[in-house]
Structure 1
Amino acid sequence: MSQKMQTSSGLSNANPAPVDRAKQLAATLQSERSEASGAQVSRELHHVLRALDADDRHSFQRYLATEFQPDRAALRAAAERYLADGTAEAAAALARAADPPRQELLRRMNMAPGGTGALIAMRSELTARLHDEPELKLLDADLKHLFASWFNRGFLELRRIDWQSPAAVLEKLIAYEAVHEIKGWDDLRRRLAPDRRCFAFFHPALPGEPLIFVEVALVQGLATAMPPLLALETDEEAARMQAARADTAIFYSISNCQDGLRGISFGNFLIKQVVEELQAEFPQLTRFSTLSPVPGFRRWLMQRLAEGSDPDAALLPELERDGWWHDPARSEKLRAPLLRLCARYLTRRPSIRIDPVARFHLGNGARLERVNWLGNNAPRGIQESFGIMVNYLYDHDSIEDNHDAFVRDGTIVRSPEVDTLLKA
Structure 2
Amino acid sequence: MSVLADLLSTVFERRYRGAAEPDRQNRSIEALCRDLLGSSGEVSGMALSRLILDRYAGMDDAGKLAFFQFLTQDMGVDPEAVRDTLDAFETTPDRNTYRAFMTAAEPPRQELARRLNQVPGATAQLVAMRSDLLRLARDNPGLSIVDLDLKHLFASWFNRGFLVLRPINWTSSADVLEKIIAYEAVHAIDSWDDLRRRLQPTDRRCFGFFHPAMPDEPLIFVEVALSHGVPGAIHDVLSEDREAIAPDAADTAVFYSISNCQSGLAGISFGNSLIKQVVADLSQELPNLKTFVTLSPIPGLTRWLSERDKTMPEDDDARRQITAHYLLNGKRDKGGPYDPVARFHLGNGASVHAIHAGADLSPNGQKQSGGVMVNYLYDLRQISQNHERFAASGEIAASSEVTALASAAAKTTE
- Report the TM range for the smaller structure's normalisation: 0.7 to 0.9
Residue 337 of structure 1 corresponds to 318
Code of the residue aligned with 1:116 in structure 2: it is T
Matched, 1:376 2:384: no
* 1:347 aligned counterpart, secondary structure: helix
Would the aligned equivalents of 2:328 and 2:337 in 1 still touch at CA under 8 Å? Answer: no
Matched, 1:217 2:225: yes
Aligned residues between the structures: 382
Matched, 1:413 2:394: no
Quote the offset at 1:346 in angstroms.
0.8
Quote the offset at 1:298 in angstroms.
0.4
Matched, 1:195 2:188: no
Q: Take 2:356 and 2:92, find their aligned partners in 1: how far apart are those partners? A: 60
Q: Take 2:298 and 2:50, find their aligned partners in 1: how far apart are those partners? A: 45
Quote the offset at 1:85 in angstroms.
6.5
Quote the offset at 1:354 in angstroms.
2.4
Matches within 5 A, 1:100-139: 100-139=107-146
Residue 262 of structure 1 corresponds to 266
Residue 411 of structure 2 corresponds to none
Code of the residue aligned with 2:286 in structure 1: it is F
* 2:257 aligned counterpart, secondary structure: strand
1:154 to 150, 161, 167: 161
Unaligned runs of 5+ in 2: 1-22, 409-414
* 2:170 aligned counterpart, secondary structure: coil
Would the aligned equivalents of 2:130 and 2:264 in 1 still touch at CA under 8 Å? Answer: yes
Q: Take 1:92 and 1:225, find their aligned partners in 2: how far apart are those partners? A: 58
Residue 175 of structure 1 corresponds to 182
Quote the offset at 1:68 in angstroms.
1.4
Residue 389 of structure 1 corresponds to 373
Distance 1:303 1:33, change over 3 A: same
Q: Take 1:87 and 1:356, find their aligned partners in 2: how far apart are those partners? A: 46
Distance 1:343 1:87, change over 3 A: farther
Would the aligned equivalents of 1:219 and 1:242 in 2 still touch at CA under 8 Å? Answer: no
Distance 1:375 1:285, change over 3 A: same
Distance 1:393 1:89, change over 3 A: farther
How far does the alpha carbon of each residue in 1:136-182 deviate from its partner, in whole angstroms, 9 at most, with x for none? 11211111111101101111110001110001111101000000000
Residue 226 of structure 1 corresponds to 234
Q: Where has structure 1 moved over 6 Å in runs of 4 or more?
A: 85-89
Q: Take 1:86 and 1:296, find their aligned partners in 2: how far apart are those partners? A: 51
Code of the residue aligned with 2:323 in structure 1: it is C
Quote the offset at 1:302 in angstroms.
1.7
Quote the offset at 1:33 in angstroms.
1.7
Unaligned runs of 5+ in 1: 1-10, 307-312, 320-330
Quote the offset at 1:64 in angstroms.
1.6
Larger gyration radius, structure 1 or structure 2 = 1
Task: Tell me the TM-score normalized by structure 1.
Answer: 0.86
2:70 to 60, 63, 66: 63
Matched, 1:44 2:51: yes
Residue 293 of structure 2 corresponds to 289
Q: Take 2:36 and 2:101, find their aligned partners in 1: how far apart are those partners? A: 24
1:73 to 80, 86, 92: 80
Distance 1:231 1:40, change over 3 A: same
* 2:254 aligned counterpart, secondary structure: strand
Between the two structures, name the one with larger relative contact order (CA 8 Å, sep ≥ 6).
2
